[in-house]
Structure 1
């Protein structure tokens, strides 16, 4: 494993814990990693750079060993008004995070609430410690979720469970969230990041073009009807047949050797 590197900003830590893996840590402990707009923009900017960096094949997003993120920044919420534009820097930061085309894994410990849960739902795979608690409590503040809690959540867990989570504000335990299909893996408390990095390392060793196409196709389930989705899947499949990675994968299989992926 290569030597770790780390660059710190005021609210986000960037690390390279393994070949092909970028780790982003929310770094606002004094505000329980509250997702103020500057932090969201930092995340979006980091993902934009990762998208253009061939050395990055998988990204892991995490908080601290005690919590992921406790929600939006209460000071920003307090200063908001009905005159706020929809097309704001915050709105477009969320859009950029959701549009990240490479594999994105979230490692969650402790509280993951409100905007924190919405950020978690931007990930393709979520690994949570057994003590994680995931919820959308915004209605208790007289507002509603504003970044996917009434849009993405019901698509993942179904209408009935999403209604209960949002209308009551009651969080799910890690085991409940896994049972609902909101997270993929539950591990021993305090081990979510280790498990996520192991998973990321395995994913980063796989062919990047195929991973991007697979992610895009799976995400189309919320956008396309079945017939259109099947056609789009087939188009992506056929496009990959001309890639150097496909030729390398077939050759490596026949020669019984590890493949060397080029992302081409």
Structure 2
């Protein structure tokens, strides 16, 4: 994999052809969020959106931990790296962008979770599109138990993603949740043996990357753009985004490859 120069001291960003791998890299603090990490995350999501050949991103954490949440002191302390400080000044709302609260990447993001993914770690997971979790992982939104508020957006997003009563259970009690329980709630896609989350997420990323990129991005955008719309209005948006995909060169290639019984070669056209 190629290490990209947009990496920061607390966020390693690597590219493997169509897949971007983003690693929260502050293991001495269980990958708690810092300014260095959030600038790196925001940079990664912007890069994923801007780079045509990036089709999917994987978010994980270093040293067997996903993310233990916010480190308020570190988040409020500017980076010691002059280049990262400059990027932070140029990047409006890098905290919210890094947390996947706003300006979401136009490509899908897959979370690969080992160990703790709590508070801000679970908020990051809720911002991703597909979720692979190791069997001994711990999830949870601890904010209310500490008289805090989940500012990453989970109070809005979680009840839209899983049944209301499960969402309120997590949000109002602030209790820890096992991987198995998260799977039973529909919060995650798959539970895998410990140490296998990243490998499983990479397999899933390869499957996404093998799909037509125009189709994948249009499906993701349709969902986001139609949230809260009545069905007739939402279907009009779906048609506006879907018909250009149907008429694309990639769609022709997909049909031809099926007829010729070979893997398609999609170019995003």
Q: TM-score, normalised by structure 2?
A: 0.86
Equivalent residue in structure 1 for 2:61, among 57, 60, 63: 63
How big is the shift at 1:205? 1.8
Question: Contact 1:114 / 1:149 at 8 angstroms: preserved in 2?
Answer: no
Distance in 2 (alpha carbons) for counterparts of 1:66 and 1:168: 26
How big is the shift at 1:19? 2.8
Question: Contact 2:115 / 2:136 at 8 angstroms: preserved in 1?
Answer: yes
SS of residue paired to 2:12: strand
Distance in 2 (alpha carbons) for counterparts of 1:40 and 1:98: 14
Alignment partner of 1:144 is 2:143: no
Larger mean CA deviation between 70-79 and 158-167 belongs to 70-79
Alignment partner of 1:209 is 2:198: no
Residues 96 and 78 of structure 1: is their aligned pair in 2 closer, same or farther, counting only changes over 3 Å? Answer: closer
How big is the shift at 1:93? 4.2
Give the equivalent residue in structure 2 for 1:11.
10
SS of residue paired to 2:14: strand
Question: Contact 2:12 / 2:25 at 8 angstroms: preserved in 1?
Answer: yes
Question: Contact 1:106 / 1:120 at 8 angstroms: preserved in 2?
Answer: yes
Equivalent residue in structure 1 for 2:180, among 175, 199, 220: 175
How big is the shift at 1:72? 0.7
Equivalent residue in structure 2 for 1:25, among 23, 48, 52: 23
How big is the shift at 1:126? 0.3
Distance in 1 (alpha carbons) for counterparts of 2:61 and 2:197: 10
RMSD: 2.2
How big is the shift at 1:153? 1.1
Question: Contact 1:98 / 1:122 at 8 angstroms: preserved in 2?
Answer: no
Distance in 2 (alpha carbons) for counterparts of 1:168 and 1:27: 29
Structure 2 matches for 1:221-260, cutoff 5 A? 222-260=227-265
How big is the shift at 1:101? 0.9
Q: Specify every segment of 5 or more residues in structure 1 that has no aligned partner in the other structure, as ranges.
A: 80-86
Question: Contact 2:45 / 2:104 at 8 angstroms: preserved in 1?
Answer: no
Q: Specify every segment of 5 or more residues in structure 2 that has no aligned partner in the other structure, as ranges.
A: 78-91
Residues 103 and 95 of structure 1: is their aligned pair in 2 closer, same or farther, counting only changes over 3 Å? Answer: closer
SS of residue paired to 1:143: coil
SS of residue paired to 1:150: helix
SS of residue paired to 1:121: helix
Distance in 2 (alpha carbons) for counterparts of 1:150 and 1:102: 24
Question: Contact 2:58 / 2:111 at 8 angstroms: preserved in 1?
Answer: yes
Question: Contact 1:60 / 1:106 at 8 angstroms: preserved in 2?
Answer: yes
Deviation string for 1:155-184 (max 9, x for gaps)?
112321122212211122111111111111
Residues 36 and 121 of structure 1: is their aligned pair in 2 closer, same or farther, counting only changes over 3 Å? Answer: same
